Structure 1
C-alpha cells in the first residue's frame, strides 16, 4: 500500500510539471497524445475511488499479480476512442491537469485511510484492499513511463516502484537477463520498445510482448 502512494504521488507530481506544449506531444501509449493519457489517469483514479467503496463478503479470488489478464497482442479497447474525445473536450490543458490532480489526490487519501484487509469487488474479481492497491502500482508506474516517453525533462517513476513492477512482470512472464535495467525490462517486455538484435538474442525463445490489462 505504501508503494501505491509512492507511485501515484510521483506520477501526479510529473503531471503537475507538464507545460501546455507537453500535452500535445505523443505518449508511450500507441495512438495517444499526452493529454489522452492524462485523461485516462482521471478514469483510473475514479476507478480506485469506486472500488475502495465497493466492499464484499465474497471470498478473495485474485491478488496483485493475478488481477492482470495477460495476452501477447493488443486488442481494441472500446473506451480508447472515448478517452480521446473526453481529453479534447477539456480544451485548456490546465483544466485536465487540475482534474487529474483533484481525483488523484482523493485516491491517495482514500488509499491511506483504507483497511488493507477489507475485501473489495471490481471487474468480477474480489481482492483484499492491499492486493488491489498493489495491482495499481503496475498501472501508475507503466503509465508514468508512458508519460515521460517523449518528455525526457520530466522525472521518471520511483526506483522502488520500477523494481516491484519488474518482479510482477517476471512472475507473469519469465526472468529477464539480470543485467537489464528495470526500465528496459518493462519497456521491451510490454512491447513499448522493440528489442535490439543483441537484446533479442539474449531473450531467446521468450514470447514478447506481454500485454497486461
Structure 2
C-alpha cells in the first residue's frame, strides 16, 4: 500500500515538472507522444477510483502478479487510438497536466483510505485491495520509465518501485542476470529495449519480450 502511494506520487510529481515542449516529445510507448502517455494516466487513475468503490463478496481470483496477462509478443491496446484522440483534444498542456493531477491525487487519497483486506472487482477479476494496488505499482513504474525515456533531465521511478517490479517480472519470466540493473531488466524484459549483443549472448535462446499488460 505504501509503495503504491510513493509510486503514484513520484509519477505525478514528474508530470508536474514537464515543460510544454516535453508534451510533444516521444515517450517510451511505441507511437505515443508524452501527451498521449499522460492522458493514459488519467484513464488509469479513473480505473483506480472506480475499482476501489466496487467491492464484492466473491472469492479472490487474482493477485498483484496474476492480474497481468502475459504475452511473448507485443499486444495492441484497444484503447490506444482513443487515448491519442483524447490527448489531442486538450488545447494546452496545462489543461492535461491539471486533469492528471486532479484525478491522480484523488486516486492517491482513495488508496490511502482504503481497507487493504477489502475485496474489489475489476475486469472479471476479484482481488484484495492490497493486491490490486500492488498490481498498479507495476503499471505506474513501467509507465514512469516510459515517461522519461527521452527526457533524461527528469527523475525516474524510485529504487524500491524498480526492485519490486523486477521481482514481479522474474516471478513470471524467470531470473535475469544479477549484475543487470533493475531498469535494464525491466526495459529488456518487457520489450521496451532490444538487448545489446552481450546481453543477448547471456540470455541465449530465451524468448523475449515478456509483456505484462
2:7 corresponds to 1:7: yes
Q: Tell me the TM-score normalized by structure 1.
A: 0.99
Ranges of 4+ aligned residues in structure 1 off by more than 4 Å: none
State the shift of 1:166 in Å. 0.1
Q: Secondary structure at the match of 1:126?
A: strand
Kept in 1, the 8 Å contact 2:73–2:208? The answer is no
2:153 corresponds to: 153
- 1:113 deviates by 0.1
* Cross-structure match for 2:66: 66
Q: Is contact 1:116–1:130 with CA below 8 Å preserved after alignment? A: yes
Matched, 1:116 2:104: no
CA–CA separation in structure 1 for the residues paired with 2:212 and 2:166:
13
Structure 2 residues without counterparts, runs of 5 or longer: none
| Deviation by residue 1:92-118 (Cα, 9 ceiling, x = unmatched) | 000000000000000000000000000
Equivalent residue pairs, number:
213
Asked if 1:199 is matched to 2:199, the reply is yes
Equivalent residues of 2:121, 2:127 under 8 A apart: yes
SS at 2:179's partner residue?
A: coil
Structural RMSD (CA): 0.5
Cα distance in 1 for residues equivalent to 2:125 and 2:204: 34
Q: Is the 8 A contact 1:174 1:206 kept in 2?
A: no
Shift in Å, 1:206 = 1.8
Q: What's the CA shift string for 1:144-197, capped at 9, x where partnerless?
A: 000000000000100000000000000000100000000000000001011111
- 1:185 equivalenced with 2:185 (yes/no): yes
Secondary structure of 1:120's aligned partner: strand
With the length of structure 2 as denominator, give the TM-score of the two structures: 0.99
Show the counterpart of 2:47. Answer: 47
Q: Distance in 2 between matches of 1:75 and 1:162?
A: 23
The Cα shift of 1:211 comes to 1.0
Per the TM alignment, residue 33 of structure 1 is displaced from its structure 2 partner at its CA by 0.0
CA deviation map 1:40-73 (0-9, x unaligned): 0000000000000000000000000000000011
Supply the distance in 1 between the matched residues of 2:180 and 2:198 (Cα, whole angstroms). 12
Contact 2:28 2:146 in 1 (8 A): yes
Q: Where does 1:33-44 land on structure 2 (aligned, <5 Å)?
A: 33-44=33-44
